Amino acid sequence: GDSVTQMEGPVTLSEEAFLTINCTYTATGYPSLFWYVQYPGEGLQLLLKATKADDKGSNKGFEATYRKETTSFHLEKGSVQVSDSAVYSCALSDRRGSYIPTFGRGTSLIVHP
């Protein structure tokens, strides 16, 4: 079945550092890929998405490129802020059928001033 694998957290960075959170997936079809962000005490909210190979999703300075050849969708940001501290979850939605997403375990990001 479909699956998503994320790097283990927590990821701890200083403010203005470069961020990469790795995400790889397994799917038999051609899924859409998502990054969700969860701030403390809140539900998940969509950060960005990409629906086909080589698409780049971007939002709030975060970017991720849909790489079909490596089945990856790594999240990057050039300069993180303290306010970016949250849990980031990679997900895929296989459009062959139900659009029901499969989520990764989530990666906690902690940014220090």
Partner 1 sequence: DAGVIQSPRHEVTEMGQEVTLRCKPISGHDYLFWYRQTMMRGLELLIYFNNNVPIDDSGMPEDRFSAKMPNASFSTLKIQPSEPRDSAVYFCASSTTGVEETQYFGPGTRLLVL
Give residues in contact with partner 1 (CB under 8 A).
32, 34, 41-46, 49, 89, 93, 95, 98-101, 103-106
Nearest distance in Å: CB 113, partner 1: 26
Closest CA to 107 of 78, 82, 84, 83: 84
Name which of 41 and 113 has its Cβ closer to partner 1.
41
> What is the DSSP secondary-structure string of 21-50?
E-EEEE-SS--EEEEEEE-TTS--EEEEEE
Nearest distance in Å: CB 15, partner 1: 26
- Distance, CA of 46 to CA of 81 (rounded, Å): 19
Nearest distance in Å: CB 61, partner 1: 20
Name which of 28 and 98 has its Cβ closer to partner 1.
98
